Structure 1
Amino acid sequence: MSNVLIGGIEGGATHSHAVIMNSAGSIMASASGLATNHHLVGMKECQKRIAELIERTKVAAEIPINTPLHGLGLSLSGCEQEETNQELALGLKERYPNLSQKYVVSSDTEGSIAATSNNGGITCIAGTGSNTLLINPDRSKVQCGGWGYLLADEGSAFKISHRAVKYCFDDLDNFEKAPFPIDRVWQLVKEHFKIKTQADILDSFYKNFDKAHIASVCKKLAELARGGDELALCIFSEAGTFLARNINAVIPKAAPELMNKEGGIHVLCVGSVWLSWDLLRSGFVSWIESNTKIEEMSLMRLKTEMGVGAALLASDRLNLPLDRDYSKNYTIFYPYKRGVSTVNNGSA
């Protein structure tokens, strides 16, 4: 099958990325689109967005829209349950018969791991939401988080943003003083939500709730932290501890093959929050040093197109040929070693 066409979509609660690859492992085209978490947008709307995104990618790759891909990997936020995964795939087959011949549906964390290895690994996603997943070589899985903003999402952009608002509200209500002055953070919150009083924000958190809009406070808060604001720095340090705790929660179930790699256990870090590693680092490292026995860990980031992992996963699960060199897909941005202060503290 020399002309095999395999697609992949990495989808989250804010946006999605698609690629189409050939059997030589070359990316023929890529495209970006809207959120594809079916819990947030509904199953039919999710299917519609997937179809539109792949059709645009086909056009960019100069593939006729009515030519089905041989396989399509969907690594999407919210796809943790096999029953709804099958519902998603079946709906695509029925409503869009020319989209792809076969489908593989998995969580976004699983697709990320597939970009670095077909022998398992750990990924910690911290974007709008958060989720950490361990996959062992025998394909057994251990998950921490991934339950949405009401039940989990610690270390995510949403929870960082929510924490900033909550610190301000508790301080203003004289319920609990924030650990540092709230002035600059509160001013940022007022400007972001275009409000003057505390009561004005209620519409954004209830009637017209928009998770992505609330989460987008995080980027502005990072700028404030880099400007030296103590409360903003504190919030990111706290987020660093939450991400360290998420990762540590799954490590006890890791197979020896994953624990004994050169550089210790490898963790793939995905999502916009990891771009602020310089702000997360102190809390992350301090918690690991004080609360675990981890001696060595390599934090990695992808350096390939989002969606490649989903395509590789489809290739493996559907037995479709797709050449790959995993070493080209990632880089180590922070090599942790207990008791050793590493020089590389750049952003992820």
Structure 2
Amino acid sequence: MEIFIGVDGGGTKTEATAINSAGEVLSRYTGGSTNPYIVTFNKAMEELRTVLDGLLAPLFDKSLLFTSICLGMSGVSSAEERRQVQSFLHSYFRQRQLSMHIYMRSEAEISLMAVLERQYGILAISGTGSNTYAITKSGDIHRVGGWGHLLGDEGSGYQIGLQTLKTVIKSHEGMLPPTIMSSLIVAAYPLQHITDLKSYIYQPAITKQDIASFARCCIEAAEAGDEAADRIIRQQAAELADTTSALIRQQAEFAESELVRIGSIFKHSPLFRETYAGILLSRYPRLRFPEGNRERTPAHGAALLACKLFTDGVSDLL
């Protein structure tokens, strides 16, 4: 039985999936960050080793043929960075007496493969951060966004969370009307009163993920009809739609493409998802928003891509 491995390496977690040639999942494993700009290259490779060890542990069997691996890793984009990862993996597999084709692809390609089972189309991501990619049928990759939480991340969980915090403070100060986001926050966090936010937020350990977590209160309040929360969700959806529009303008074929939406904000906020799609359809009426197979993770998509690239005889040389 041939085995194909996919890895989705992120700044927060890394997921790996092993499948057979029929696409059936045989093993999964989740570990920590493998983004070298967050944890250094050496620590990223140590974590990647841990993830692969965990994934492969239940699979070592003489009847299995480990064939190829495809990785989509945040923070690994230049040719030199990819060569370093490939070098590490060649050494890793040699130590385990395995010979595998190693493919490095973008997070856009593995995510599109997971949903559409192909590598071209448009991908919009709204999770803790945000980003947009578009890949032409000929394989050219375009990107708008991805500047991080200080310079960009429009339409992300971080920006929704930050605007939520600013809004409840302004509401407390009397600059804005009351909002149920205030009571939702006090109930969900270790706070006695909304004024405790200052000491909570300015703790050194608070990260952008912690700020993004406040988006949950905004989404819940918007669903309950809170005007302030509704305004935040719609504004951030519009911001991401503007980012996506800038991407679509780069190639004529993108205006008639399929656009895949992934990430926790798209998943948990129907208002965000529908507002975003409505704005884009008003500008590009031939866009399509397929649901595809949303049970498959990007790691599963990477494994499917490993199978496709190997079957098609694609070289793994960079």
Matched residue, 1:284: 276
Q: Which residue identity lines up with residue 160 of structure 1 in the other structure?
A: I
Q: Which residue identity lines up with residue 63 of structure 1 in the other structure?
A: F
TM-score, normalising length from structure 1? Answer: 0.75
Q: Which residue identity lines up with residue 262 of structure 2 in the other structure?
A: V
Matched residue, 1:325: none
Q: Which residue identity lines up with residue 137 of structure 1 in the other structure?
A: K
CA shift, 1:252, in A, is 2.0
CA shift, 1:7, in A, is 0.5
Matched residue, 1:110: 109
| 1:69-90 deviations in Å (ceiling 9; x for gaps) | 4322112333333332332332
Structure 1 portions without partners, runs of 5+: 323-348
Matched residue, 1:185: 181
TM-score, normalising length from structure 2? Answer: 0.82
Structure 2 portions without partners, runs of 5+: none
CA shift, 1:160, in A, is 1.1
CA shift, 1:170, in A, is 4.8
What is the distance in 2 between the residues matched to 1:222 and 1:145? 23
Matched residue, 1:146: 146
CA shift, 1:274, in A, is 0.8
What is the distance in 1 between the residues matched to 2:205 and 2:77? 27
Q: How does 1:227-242 map to 2 (within 5 A)?
A: 227-242=224-239
Change beyond 3 A, Cα 1:84–1:299: same
Change beyond 3 A, Cα 1:95–1:19: closer
On the 8 A contact 1:237/1:280 being kept in 2, the answer is yes
What is the distance in 2 between the residues matched to 1:300 and 1:172? 42
Q: Which residue identity lines up with residue 266 of structure 2 in the other structure?
A: W
Change beyond 3 A, Cα 1:286–1:315: closer
Q: How does 1:52-63 map to 2 (within 5 A)?
A: 52-60=50-58, 62-63=59-60
Q: How does 1:248-327 map to 2 (within 5 A)?
A: 248-254=245-251, 256=253, 259=255, 264-281=256-273, 283-285=275-277, 287-288=279-280, 292=283, 294-301=284-291, 302-306=293-297, 307-319=299-311
Change beyond 3 A, Cα 1:248–1:85: same
Q: Tell me which of the two structures has the higher relative contact order, counting C-alpha pairs closer than 8 angstroms and 6 or more residues apart.
A: 2
CA shift, 1:277, in A, is 4.1
Q: Which residue identity lines up with residue 89 of structure 1 in the other structure?
A: Q
Matched residue, 1:156: 156
What is the distance in 2 between the residues matched to 1:149 and 1:231? 22
CA shift, 1:164, in A, is 0.9
What is the distance in 2 between the residues matched to 1:87 and 1:107? 16
Q: Identity, % of aligned pairs?
A: 25
| 1:85-118 deviations in Å (ceiling 9; x for gaps) | 3323323434564377342233322211233244
Matched residue, 1:5: 3
SS at 2:151 equivalent = coil
On the 8 A contact 2:123/2:260 being kept in 1, the answer is yes
Matched residue, 1:328: none
Matched residue, 1:326: none
Root-mean-square deviation (Å) = 3.0
What is the distance in 2 between the residues matched to 1:36 and 1:141? 23
Change beyond 3 A, Cα 1:300–1:169: same
Query: Does residue 65 of structure 2 align to residue 82 of structure 1?
Result: no
What is the distance in 2 between the residues matched to 1:187 and 1:288? 34
| 1:277-309 deviations in Å (ceiling 9; x for gaps) | 42214532553366x2x1132223442421122
| 1:154-195 deviations in Å (ceiling 9; x for gaps) | 111112111111223455567xx44x534x323444455534
On the 8 A contact 2:110/2:119 being kept in 1, the answer is no
Matched residue, 1:332: none
**Which one of the candidate residues 77, 89, 93 is aligned to 2:90?**
93
On the 8 A contact 1:20/1:27 being kept in 2, the answer is yes
Matched residue, 2:70: 73
Q: How does 1:19-58 map to 2 (within 5 A)?
A: 19-58=17-56
